[in-house]
């Protein structure tokens, strides 16, 4: 790498840190960050996209520079600048009109209609364009957006907390708490980035979870989804009675909807989704509808084992976050982390694109991105 390559990587790191401030807030747009450096490499502006309808990262970073001449400046941005009129004017126009010297880009726009267009316009205007800097992290930042854009369904993260022998609840159904407070605070970070948080009806009944994000100002922002084919959840659950009950969706079948219409209080929405071939909720349809109707880009599923099994079997899991506590139940009656997949050894291997292992207090977590 040359000296300037290091400089671009350094700038992109800062741009990524800016982008992270917007994670979970920008739906249906992706989180994007940008920084501006002057001809001597001094950072003179930073910015990120705060939310739909608000200025893009490049606009905020350039505004942060004030009135200075940008003719020698380099702008690093995590995503290819937009080139079409959306709710705001195109950022390519701004970069060209301010006469910046160079634009360093992390990820290309995943929208096939726009991909590469912004780069072409900048180059035509005589601006030097450097692509692929910090690309892996920049692509990861926009994976939920890219999923909604190209697959019309959310990026799905499946999180489960289990013992070393793969059990998520004991034979009495007790699952609070298998993992430590340190692990659970990381789960709060996952919730912060999610547009919807889903559990199966068994988990909703056994744990009565609120599924709320505890971060300031975030409670009630994400949709809460319960997959409940038979419509069996009781009206007493926090999810359907608390002050965010209108942010709860019960996904069910015709029969389930009839039952729920008699039992549920006002507030939560009931979606009649229908069954897949395995008799369980049609998850493909549910995921599509969440993106269609509510712009859900990132869905976090927090169990239980049956829903985890259905998601895995259907090929809907993009990222697995598996927490392991140093504990063993060794009891066939305890609930397994995944059920109903019924793989033989020959079929059981996952196609893994990336993997990391992290420790949280006494626990460790395996993070796998699936192909
Ligand atoms: Zn833009």
**pLDDT tens, N- to C-terminus, the chain (371 residues):** 566 889 999 999 999 999 999 998 999 999 999 999 999 999 999 999 999 999 999 999 999 999 999 999 999 999 999 998 888 889 999 999 999 999 999 999 998 888 999 999 999 999 999 999 999 999 999 999 999 999 999 999 999 999 999 999 999 999 989 999 999 999 999 999 999 999 999 999 999 999 999 888 888 889 999 999 999 999 999 999 999 999 999 999 999 999 999 999 999 999 999 898 878 899 999 999 999 999 999 999 999 999 999 999 999 999 999 999 999 999 999 999 999 999 999 999 999 998 999 999 999 999 999 99
| pLDDT of res. 89 | 87
Does residue 136 sit in the same domain as residue 163? Answer: no
> What spacing in Å lies between the alpha carbon of 81 and ligand 1's midpoint?
5
| pLDDT of res. 157 | 98
**Helix/strand/coil (H, E, C) string of the chain?**
CCHHHHHHHHHHHHHHHHHHCCCCCCCCCCCCEEEEECCCCCEEEEEECCCCCCCCHHHHHHHHCCCCCCCCCEEEEEECCCCCCCCCCCHHHHHHHCCCCEEEEEECCCCCCCCCHHHHHHHHCCCEEECCCCHHHHHHHCHHHHHHHHHCCCEEEEEEEEECCCEEECCCCCCCCCCCHHHHHHHHHHHHCCCEEEEEHHHHHHHCCCCCCCCCCCCCCCEEEEECCCCCCCCCCHHHHCCCHHHEEEEECHHHHHHHHHHCCCCCEEEECCECCCCCECHHHHHHHHHHHHCCCEEEECCCHHHHHHHHHCCCCCEEEEEEECCCCCCCCCEECCCCCCCCHHHCCCCEEEEEEEEECCEEEEEEEEC
Q: Tell me the two tokens of residue 145.
A: 């957006």
**Where among 146, 168, 195 does a domain terminate?**
146
> What spacing in Å lies between the alpha carbon of 4 and ligand 1's midpoint?
25
Does residue 299 sit in the same domain as residue 357? Answer: yes
Does residue 140 sit in the same domain as residue 163? Answer: no
Name 114's Cβ contacts closer than 8 Å, sequence gap at least 6: 80, 82, 83, 84
**Where among 123, 146, 169 does a domain terminate?**
146
Does residue 179 sit in the same domain as residue 326? Answer: yes
Sign of CA dihedral 186, 217, 226, 197: negative
Q: Which of 302, 275, 277, 273 is nearest to 288 (CA)?
A: 273
Does residue 163 sit in the same domain as residue 287? Answer: yes
Kindly report the CATH number assigned to the domain that includes residue 37. Answer: 3.40.140.10
Does residue 305 sit in the same domain as residue 291? Answer: yes
Place of tokens 């993997």: 355
| pLDDT of res. 268 | 97
Active site residues: 58
| pLDDT of res. 5 | 87
> What spacing in Å lies between the alpha carbon of 298 and ligand 1's midpoint?
21
CA–CA distance from 176 to each of 9, 10, 69, 206, 272 (Å)?
43, 42, 58, 10, 31
- HSE-CB for 321 with a 13 A CA cutoff: 20
Domain hosting residue 210, numbered range: 152-370
Place of tokens 């609120």: 210
CA–CA distance from 107 to each of 119, 136, 145 (Å)?
11, 8, 12
What is d(CA 322, CA 360) in angstroms, rounded to the nearest whole number?
Answer: 12
> What spacing in Å lies between the alpha carbon of 360 and ligand 1's midpoint?
38
Q: Which of 48, 121, 68, 44 is nearest to 90 (CA)?
A: 121
- Quickly count: other Cβ atoms within 10 Å of residue 60's Cβ: 20
> What spacing in Å lies between the alpha carbon of 110 and ligand 1's midpoint?
14
- Number of domains observed in the structure of the chain: 2
Does residue 161 sit in the same domain as residue 232? Answer: yes
Q: Tell me the two tokens of residue 140.
A: 């990861």
Kindly report the CATH number assigned to the domain that includes residue 332. Answer: 3.40.430.10
What is d(CA 291, CA 155) in angstroms, rounded to the nearest whole number?
Answer: 10
Strand order in the sheet with 43-48: 43-48, 33-37, 74-79, 102-107, 128-130
| pLDDT of res. 237 | 97
- Quickly count: other Cβ atoms within 10 Å of residue 77's Cβ: 31
| pLDDT of res. 2 | 63
> What spacing in Å lies between the alpha carbon of 75 and ligand 1's midpoint?
13
Q: Which of 337, 330, 326, 264 is nearest to 302 (CA)?
A: 337
| pLDDT of res. 85 | 83
Does residue 195 sit in the same domain as residue 286? Answer: yes
**Where among 146, 165, 185 does a domain terminate?**
146
| pLDDT of res. 193 | 92
Does residue 233 sit in the same domain as residue 120? Answer: no
> What spacing in Å lies between the alpha carbon of 22 and ligand 1's midpoint?
15
Does residue 105 sit in the same domain as residue 168? Answer: no
| pLDDT of res. 144 | 96
Name 325's Cβ contacts closer than 8 Å, sequence gap at least 6: 161, 162, 163, 164, 178, 179, 180, 183, 362, 363
Does residue 122 sit in the same domain as residue 184? Answer: no
- Does pTM surpass 0.85? yes
Does residue 72 sit in the same domain as residue 194? Answer: no
């Amino acid at each position: 790498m040359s000296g300037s390559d290091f400089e671009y990587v350094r700038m992109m790191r800062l741009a990524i840190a800016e982008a992270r401030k917007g994670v979970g807030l920008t739906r249906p747009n992706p989180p994007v960050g940008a920084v501006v450096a002057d001809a001597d490499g001094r950072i003179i502006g930073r910015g990120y996209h705060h939310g739909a309808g608000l200025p893009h990262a490049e606009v905020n970073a350039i505004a942060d520079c004030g009135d200075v001449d940008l003719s020698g400046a380099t702008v690093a941005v995590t995503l290819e600048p937009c080139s079409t009129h959306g709710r705001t004017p195109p950022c390519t126009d701004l970069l060209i009109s301010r006469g910046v010297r160079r634009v360093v880009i992390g990820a290309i726009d995943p929208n096939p209609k726009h991909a590469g267009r912004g780069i072409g316009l900048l180059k035509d205007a005589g601006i030097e364009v450097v692509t692929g800097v910090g690309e892996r992290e920049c692509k990861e930042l926009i994976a939920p957006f890219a999923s909604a854009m190209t697959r019309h369904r959310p990026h799905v993260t499946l999180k489960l907390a289990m013992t070393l022998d793969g059990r998520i609840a004991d034979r009495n159904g007790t699952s609070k708490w298998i993992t430590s407070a340190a692990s659970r605070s990381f789960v709060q970070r996952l919730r912060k980035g999610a547009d919807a948080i889903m559990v199966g009806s068994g988990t909703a009944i056994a744990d009565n979870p609120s599924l709320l994000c505890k971060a300031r100002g975030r409670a009630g922002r994400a949709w809460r989804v319960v997959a409940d084919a038979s419509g069996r959840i009781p009206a007493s659950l926090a999810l359907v009675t608390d002050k965010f009950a209108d942010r709860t969706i019960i996904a069910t079948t015709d029969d389930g909807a009839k039952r729920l219409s008699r039992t549920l209080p006002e507030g939560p929405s009931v979606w009649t989704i229908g069954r897949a071939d395995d008799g369980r909720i049609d998850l493909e349809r549910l995921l599509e509808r969440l993106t269609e109707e509510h712009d859900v880009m990132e869905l976090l599923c927090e169990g239980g084992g049956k829903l985890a099994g259905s998601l895995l079997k259907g090929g809907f899991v993009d990222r697995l976050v598996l927490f392991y506590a140093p504990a063993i139940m060794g009891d066939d009656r305890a609930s397994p982390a995944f059920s109903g997949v019924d793989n033989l050894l020959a079929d059981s291997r996952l196609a893994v694109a990336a993997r990391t292992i992290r420790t949280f207090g006494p626990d460790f977590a395996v993070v796998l991105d699936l192909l």
